[in-house]
Amino acid sequence: MTQQNHKTCAGCFQTLADETRMRIIKFLKEHGARNVGAITQLLRVSQPTVSHHLRVLSQKGFLARDQKGKKVFYSFRKDYPCRGCGVFNAPIRS
Q: Is 17 part of a structural domain of the chain?
A: yes
Distances (CA, A) of 67 to 33, 34, 35, 60, 76: 11, 11, 9, 18, 15
Q: Is residue 88 part of a domain?
A: no
Domain count, the chain: 1
By mean pLDDT, which of 19-28, 32-41, 50-59, 76-85 is the weakest?
A: 76-85
- Full-model pTM: 0.80
Whether 89 is covered by a domain: the verdict is no
Q: What is the CATH number of the domain that holds 67?
A: 1.10.10.10
Q: What domain range is 43 assigned to?
A: 3-78
- Domain contains 86: no
54 occurs within a structural domain: yes
CA distance 54 to 15: 11
Share of the chain above pLDDT 70, in %: 81
